Structure 1
């Protein structure tokens, strides 16, 4: 069953080494993410699953100790998913296992120092249909007695003319609806997000949020919104469900 969830955005700039001189601009966001991860630790889960958007279709599972790197982005920084034993490290690198997608590499960075139990990762294709996202969420929470989720994903990337997707007048309303749903742990609204609108607005969090909606069905969790802003014209939200 789902006992807690944290929702965080996944821009590479969340990692100070990647942001470099611009790092202080997102200090408030980093602090909110740290608070959300703290809620997960306090829930004492048997299993934590980090979920994030991925370029590959469908779903991609990553074990504890899976490797991620920011070297492709010009920073000599590597991360591992969760607390790594020697066996975990060998397993993660055996057979040329693929590296974590960037969203889960950011999640691994947020979870550095995590010692509240095992961590696994799940990459979700950004085009995965809502019903398949919900089904994946139900599968995830059936994997252990007490499951927590760290759900990575950005809102629309069309909030200003300088945004990655330029300005789209629908973006502000889309993000406001998502923020309200996250604040209220409103499973129905998240489950009903339109994939086509999300794609047009470049909202990378749509599929992970709908996986959360499936996972939270019947869990009776309450929500709180810890952060909402659109730096760089992209909607970023941090929320905790407990």
Structure 2
């Protein structure tokens, strides 16, 4: 039975090398993510993570990757003993196209000293029923990391155009996470989430399928750059 579940966002701004002079501005988001990840690592050194990416459904584990596609060649690994990064080594297990959620999961693992993280990637349009079914299949995992961003249509910093629905949508998510209300998470509308750019919807609904009961020990919500970032720690 899973006894710890952590929810964090996965923006590249978490990695100081990628934001250069703006590292101080991004510190609140980074600190909240690391605090939640430390809680997970204290509970178990081996994690299962859920992230959202168009390349899903697929699972990645035991490989290293790089943030080079985001501007700086910061290398990370999903396991504490990464494979050789020598491109001439036939045993090299480096994936230079590792999706952002997997990169962030690896970055968090390294920063808090966890041993391994296996990442299940799901597509952003995965139906709610399929999300919940995947969550049920994760019942035997030791600890779960849920990676997903909220709406990117908040206020003047919105990606594209602001949308008045972004605030109420992310408030519903905030309340659901703060109360460990899995029914409320399952009730999130995939169509509305897609319109608001809230790709975390699929990952949150996987969390809603993981057998509980759950209790939220702490949660928070930030909207520093027009994007909703949710943080929560649940225990069984």
Q: Residues 50-199 of structure 1: matches in 2 within 5 Å?
A: 50-56=49-55, 58-63=56-61, 65-84=62-81, 86=83, 93=92, 99-142=97-140, 144=141, 147-199=142-194
Show structure 1 runs of 5+ residues with no match: none
SS at match of 1:161: helix
- The alpha-carbon deviation at position 30 of structure 1 amounts to 1.4
Residue 35 of structure 1 pairs with residue 35 of structure 2: yes
- The alpha-carbon deviation at position 213 of structure 1 amounts to 0.7
Contact 2:4 2:144 in 1 (8 A): yes
SS at match of 2:72: coil
- The alpha-carbon deviation at position 15 of structure 1 amounts to 0.8
Q: What CA RMSD, in Å, does the superposition of the two structures yield over aligned residues?
A: 2.3
SS at match of 1:112: helix
Contact 1:225 1:237 in 2 (8 A): no
Q: Please name the residue that 1:203 is paired with.
A: 198
Aligned-partner Cα distance in 2 for 1:92–1:51: 27
- The alpha-carbon deviation at position 97 of structure 1 amounts to 5.8
- The alpha-carbon deviation at position 225 of structure 1 amounts to 4.0
SS at match of 2:143: strand
Query: CA 1:22/1:97 → structure 2, altered by over 3 Å: closer, same or farther?
Result: closer
Cα deviation code 1:126-158 (max 9, x no counterpart): 01011101111111223x4xx211111100010
Query: CA 1:171/1:187 → structure 2, altered by over 3 Å: closer, same or farther?
Result: same
Which is worse superposed, 11-20 or 34-43? 34-43
Specify which structure has the higher proportion of helix: 1
- The alpha-carbon deviation at position 98 of structure 1 amounts to 7.0
Cα deviation code 1:169-216 (max 9, x no counterpart): 00000000101111111111111110000000000100000011111x
SS at match of 2:175: helix
SS at match of 1:111: helix
- The alpha-carbon deviation at position 66 of structure 1 amounts to 1.9
Aligned-partner Cα distance in 2 for 1:191–1:92: 42
Residue 235 of structure 1 pairs with residue 221 of structure 2: no
The number of aligned residues is: 232
- The alpha-carbon deviation at position 82 of structure 1 amounts to 2.9
Show structure 2 runs of 5+ residues with no match: none
SS at match of 1:2: coil
Cα deviation code 1:88-120 (max 9, x no counterpart): x999945x8674211220121111155555421
SS at match of 1:38: helix
